[in-house]
Amino acid sequence: MMIVEEGLNYFQSLLADIQKAYRFSLEAHFEEDLTTLPGTKNRVRHALYSCQKIILSMGDLARYREQYNPNPNYSQAKKWYEMALQVNPKNGRPFNQLAIIAVSQYESMNLKKPPLDNNSRYDDYKYSEQKERRRDGSLRQEIWIRPDSGATNKRTLSQSDPEEEKKACIDELMLMPHDQLMKQFLTSYLHCHGMLFSRVGLDHFNKVLGETLNSFQALLQISPPKLSCTHLLQIMAINMFAIDNTQLRGYRIVFDDAR
């Protein structure tokens, strides 16, 4: 831990020295992108890119420090990654690091869930069945009979419309505070891409994807809109990278040969 703290102090002092040597400040860059100004010299642009790498390293050190805590809090690492994203939004590295944090938070939440015994599972099933019956009242019962022993197994299934359930879920999301809804969408969105990039936890991908799409659809319906044109452009860029990164290698080879 002492090495991590010394590394953070070193990078902070190095960051201040670079701003002093090249006569610019990151605060002024955040207010107005210095890399796009015509009067900005190339050496200042290169210094900003170096600052982004330093800030990413600071975020990595903060993330490493929390990995050894029983209750990790990645807020400091997330702050550094978001700052690095502001320095140069064209670089995809901060998005990758934010996705790693989203996956780590999801895994830590699963570890905190206590295991359920058979009685609690049965009680939860009875409660969910009664809740479904009160909400809709349209349930169907299936009886499965084994041909060898004749044993029967009864299952009660819902006949509710999936579209109605999705609409009800979106309406419920729209009642949330807009900032909280935006945070929930970003977390689930980065979680999806973290799963695609790391190939970890893909068994839960469909569930997380459904939550992401519902949150995104709810965000599109609120007024005033929380998603700006820049947000939508960044989402499109990340999606295009995910499509190119996850496509089949065999298809890519065949396509290149055909071209």
Please say if the pLDDT value at position 113 is more than 80.
no
Look at residue 114 and tell me if it is in a domain: no
Look at residue 22 and tell me if it is in a domain: yes
Q: Packing angle between helix 178-198 and helix 93-112, nearest 10 degrees? A: 100
Computed over every residue of the chain, the mean pLDDT equals 76
Q: What is the mean pLDDT of residues 170-199?
A: 86
Distance CA 174, CA 227 (A): 14
- Judge if 139 and 153 occupy the same domain: yes
Q: Packing angle between helix 75-87 and helix 93-112, nearest 10 degrees? A: 160
81: pLDDT confidence band, cut at 50, 70 and 90? Answer: very high
Cβ neighbourhood burial of 258 (10 Å; 0-12, 13-18, 19+)? exposed
Look at residue 89 and tell me if it is in a domain: no
Q: What is the mean pLDDT of residues 185-213?
A: 87
- Judge if 154 and 167 occupy the same domain: no
Q: What is the mean pLDDT of residues 223-249?
A: 83
- Whole-number pLDDT of residue 257: 44
131: pLDDT confidence band, cut at 50, 70 and 90? Answer: very low
Where in the sequence is the domain holding 234, given as residue range(s)? Answer: 162-258
- Judge if 23 and 52 occupy the same domain: yes
Asked if 74 and 66 count as a contact pair (C-beta separation under 8 A), the reply is yes
- Judge if 20 and 76 occupy the same domain: yes
Q: What is the mean pLDDT of residues 82-111?
A: 82
- Final residue before a domain boundary, out of 56, 83, 110: 83
Please say if the pLDDT value at position 132 is more than 70.
no
- Whole-number pLDDT of residue 259: 44
- Judge if 171 and 215 occupy the same domain: yes
Q: Provide the whole-model pTM.
A: 0.43
- Judge if 138 and 225 occupy the same domain: no
CB-hemisphere CA count at 13 Å for 127? Answer: 6
Look at residue 253 and tell me if it is in a domain: yes
- Judge if 173 and 254 occupy the same domain: yes
Beta strands in the chain (DSSP E): 139-145, 152-158
How many Cβ atoms are within 10 Å of 114's Cβ, its own excluded?
6
Question: Which is higher by pLDDT, 40 or 172?
Answer: 172
Domain count across the chain: 3
- Judge if 136 and 200 occupy the same domain: no
- Judge if 153 and 170 occupy the same domain: no
Please say if the pLDDT value at position 251 is more than 60.
no
Distance CA 209, CA 102 (A): 14
- Final residue before a domain boundary, out of 52, 83, 114: 83
- Judge if 129 and 72 occupy the same domain: no
- Judge if 172 and 147 occupy the same domain: no
- Judge if 170 and 153 occupy the same domain: no
- Final residue before a domain boundary, out of 83, 100, 133: 83
Percent pLDDT > 70 in the chain is 71
Look at residue 115 and tell me if it is in a domain: no
Please say if the pLDDT value at position 18 is more than 80.
yes
Distance CA 259, CA 254 (A): 9
Find the length of the chain.
259
Residue 197 one-letter amino acid: F
